[in-house]
Structure 1
């Protein structure tokens, strides 16, 4: 992870500002623990896995900084260079300057202990302990699909990405992507055109938006959701940072959809990571003669779900890790519920996770018996309920 060292002209200017930085006071600041976690995370040689190992071993950043060398050396991934960096952290990492920049630009510093930290990332073994967030991540964003693909997209690929993102956003699904040229940009634009939410994950710091021509798009995405980075504001994009950020893109979503990707593509890395995270992998097929679709066609051959419409996507999302409250007040337990009309929601709401008599479903819903029976068949086909016997059903 690229660090910001004290002494740069930019930091001297920020550090000389008379305005004090108070942890927890507005965007850019969280808590004393978050600030010290930030200081630790910015040290050279400490990546997400090493940082997580240190915090698990010592409990909090203050204890890490206070630990003797022999205890630090017992942590996997910590060698003499990392120990030296920890000892000199207060002299080399100016977290006040970073916090000031974030406060000025209204970028929130979020630690993995914060209520604002995305719950979808908490299960990852290499979840970033610190995130920089422009915008806001909300509970509804747990119903999300990542759309990724090549930067050198065809007209077909761009249209598919924009159309599917638009349709997902209209259904209430958040679209996650990487703000790159090509498929990523089309996905963000489609989600915003649909009036829904979208999240961009950067492979650089917020002060180094890449590509530069997407700075305006980044502001638009933040207004419709959030722009997220695990890197400090002035971290410049480097080749190795993009594969690393792909784990966050996949981790934020229930499924990853690859729209167009050649056989050697960063989008395929994201798909592989999604598989490792036990998330669904989906792909849009393309012409067998198109180089841009080779990766997608290979994914489908190897078991990825072939996607032709937004209904195909919603059918594959499956149950949530916990119920999510949507903007219209519904409790969603399975993403497929987003396809339901009002009557179907009413019948589903009348069915318990335990065995429920169909007569009781009819009574609770207040609908005619024949209508309820027909809707139960629809819910069963959509894998939202199971029929236990001729007269009993339960939610899945």
Structure 2
């Protein structure tokens, strides 16, 4: 058996974390040595709890089953990448708690291309969902790879935005690679395998337990050059991701919100602590040193790149501020549809809000 196969066996041990794995490798010379170490030696190493030693011993009784699963992975389009292999993401290598191996469907984010995580509340507002999708789309269109966690709410919207722009997006899962969670995102799960990648350090069959998600958040932040928080409560998994990103020296952006809105509490707290204010895609792109093509010289070219309803709203705007009700009347669109178009035009730098419900065209 190869060293990689022994690592695979050890990855099946419940609760055996990355840091412990690396310490065991150092103690016993290699992963083969860890797998075959005597029970007494495992206990005397003072690396593992009694429960974890018992877990390793129990896993050994299932070696034949695990080896069969390893051999069948390729047939299921599942890749298993060890930390020493060339294709292992360079962004993860510097960290002591990096995953010893990653299970993957699809591909890894390209090392030489900017990455941004977009995360936030599962039970986000409609505004939060729209902003997550809009930022995912606009950043992806500019060439940024989008990272998130496939959760309901902000995560799913960010992934969809990236896919809508024809870009690449990657999900770091809190369960086994063969489990789609949440089940509502099955179509998204399948699409991302083709258009980006699904990644996890948890072995096949691992259920999405609550304790898994804070653990996976360190991978989301480590894979990202910048982390964007759209909506989050003051105590939430998104803030764990933000804290990890700050510890890793990453840039954190937060979308400001109303002080009376609980879902903006986390973002406002981050801003109070020094996070970068997120108002438009160019805020992130300027950090990456990328040019944001928010304006086109010719009005005709601008119209070509807009969707039908956005073009309708854009066409009725001019340099004189118009009230929202007037825009509604001119376009014949519904309130929600018209508001969404205006938000997207604002994000693209093509429209501006000049006062309470007044909008104008930006040339």
TM-score interval for Structure 1 and Structure 2 normalised by the shorter chain: 0.7 to 0.9
Would you say 1:300 and 2:252 are equivalent positions?
no
- Displacement of 1:63 in angstroms is 2.0
- Displacement of 1:60 in angstroms is 1.8
Q: Provide Cα deviations, 1:28-77, integer angstroms capped at 9, x if missing partner.
A: xxx82222101112123421111121123333211223445555345453
Instruction: Report the secondary structure of 1:121's partner residue.
Output: coil
Match of 1:36? 6
Q: Provide Cα deviations, 1:293-312, integer angstroms capped at 9, x if missing partner.
A: 11111110110000111111
User: For 1:339, which of 291, 296, 312 is the aligned residue?
Assistant: 291
From the superposition, tell whether residues 287 and 207 of structure 1 become closer, same or farther in structure 2 (CA, over 3 Å).
same
Aligned length: 292
Match of 1:179? 150
| Distance across 1 between alignment mates of 2:196 and 2:112 | 9
User: For 1:92, which of 39, 58, 62 is the aligned residue?
Assistant: 62
| Distance across 2 between alignment mates of 1:155 and 1:80 | 48
- Displacement of 1:140 in angstroms is 4.4
Would you say 1:236 and 2:207 are equivalent positions?
yes
Instruction: Report the secondary structure of 1:139's partner residue.
Output: coil
| More displaced stretch, 233-242 vs 50-59 | 50-59
User: For 1:254, which of 218, 221, 225 is the aligned residue?
Assistant: 225
The answer to whether the 8 A contact 1:120-1:142 is kept is no
The answer to whether the 8 A contact 2:6-2:35 is kept is no
Q: Which stretches in structure 1 are left out of the alignment for 5+ residues?
A: 1-30, 317-334, 342-396
Instruction: Report the secondary structure of 1:49's partner residue.
Output: helix
Scaled by the length of structure 1, the TM-score of the pair is 0.69
Report the RMSD for the aligned CA atoms in angstroms.
2.1
| Distance across 2 between alignment mates of 1:264 and 1:82 | 30
Would you say 1:281 and 2:281 are equivalent positions?
no
| Distance across 2 between alignment mates of 1:147 and 1:137 | 17
- Displacement of 1:238 in angstroms is 0.6
The answer to whether the 8 A contact 1:142-1:253 is kept is no
From the superposition, tell whether residues 141 and 209 of structure 1 become closer, same or farther in structure 2 (CA, over 3 Å).
farther
| More displaced stretch, 204-213 vs 99-108 | 99-108
- Displacement of 1:109 in angstroms is 0.8
Scaled by the length of structure 2, the TM-score of the pair is 0.75
| Distance across 2 between alignment mates of 1:173 and 1:69 | 48
